[in-house]
Amino acid sequence: MAEVELPNPEELEERRDKAFSRRVALTTAVYAVILAIASLGASNAMKHMLLAQQQSSDQWAFYQAKVIREHLYRAQALVMQAELADVAAARGPRQEKVQALATRFADEEKRYNAEKKDIEKDAKKLEQDRDHYRTRDRYFEFAEVFLQIAIVCSSVAILATSRAMFIFSMVVAALGVLSTLNGFLLFARVGVLDH
């Protein structure tokens, strides 16, 4: 009769633990890759948000300059109209020059009024862009937190050979993945994060 060698139970346990550790380590590496993608998305969103904020501020400064010029021309037109109303000054070629200046100032006031409306529209569009990127950035920030927690939990799962901790890390990582995807696509908005 041939002798059958039974495997040592401790050796089987060690192999199982090594397989589990490898699987968890590979999963942790995937978490780290997704974390890098989320970090890149956050960096990009922050850069665009700051750029849009700067451009919006520039547009509002430009708008303010147009408003000031509009008011200056309005004041000059009023001065010219008051001068035209003066009977003594309203005679001869001087009257024509004053009338021409009053007309020119009124036209400039209208031009600045029209230009500032376009500038205001551009500034508001840039503010919307800023807010859009700010929203995206918040989701990336939460993704980074979830993924970092998942990495720590999976590391603990390896050290403690704890399947429960590994499953918890997968749940937290799934939240991180969803938050990363939402940062790029904004398919869902969480009210708490959009304020």
Note the pLDDT tens digit of each residue in 73-116.
Answer: 888 888 877 777 775 555 677 777 778 888 888 888 888 889 99
pLDDT of residue 104: 86
Is residue 2 over pLDDT 60? no
What gap in Å lies between CA 63 and CA 52, rounded to an integer? Answer: 16
89/24: higher pLDDT: 24
* pLDDT tens-digit readout, 117-176: 999 999 999 999 999 999 999 999 999 999 999 999 999 999 999 999 999 999 999 999
pLDDT of residue 168: 98
Mean pLDDT to the nearest integer, 13-21: 80
Q: pTM for this one?
A: 0.74
pLDDT of residue 77: 82
Q: Are 63 and 120 in contact (CB under 8 A)?
A: yes
121/195: higher pLDDT: 121
Span of 35-39, 92-96, 143-147, 185-189 with lowest mean pLDDT: 92-96
Q: Are 38 and 183 in contact (CB under 8 A)?
A: yes
pLDDT of residue 103: 86
177/110: higher pLDDT: 177
pLDDT of residue 82: 77
With cut-offs at 50, 70 and 90, classify the pLDDT of residue 44: very high
| Residue recorded with tokens 């997968």 | 170
